[in-house]
Amino acid sequence: MPRKHDKTQRQKEKRWQDMWERWENGELPSPYAEMLTYDRDVREGGHLQFFINAELRGANFFALMRALKQALPACHARNAAEAYRQYCALAIDVADDAAIVQALDDAPLSAFDDFYDAHEEEMIDALETCADAL
């Protein structure tokens, strides 16, 4: 006979998978969609990758940062906002592949990535809350 804990864990995993599937299908509402995009990009390549990808997608950065401020834990929202200020100061030409490669090699936003990694639990909690809310 399955234990109640096992069933609860399976339900949480199902909600988690459903959330990511909805995100992949473009069915997740704001600000959750932005939060999941942020999480994926930062995990894969850091804040620099997130901002470059957002710029290449033609993101409205005002709306994007507002959504992140709503969805992220406060410490992550502050970290993302400061990373964005630093990103803007870099003035990377996203139409110049060599400039992007050089910026990725230089890793000018690595301190913000380190913060993200050091506070991963808060982010996971926020993502779980998101999954539970959907």
Taking the C-alpha atoms of residue 100 and residue 53, their distance in angstroms, rounded to an integer, is: 11
Taking only the tens place, the pLDDT of each residue in 25-60 is 999 999 999 999 999 999 999 999 999 999 999 999
Residues in the chain, pLDDT under 70: 1-5
- Chain mean pLDDT for the chain: 93
Q: Report d(CA 98, CA 104) in Å as an integer.
A: 10
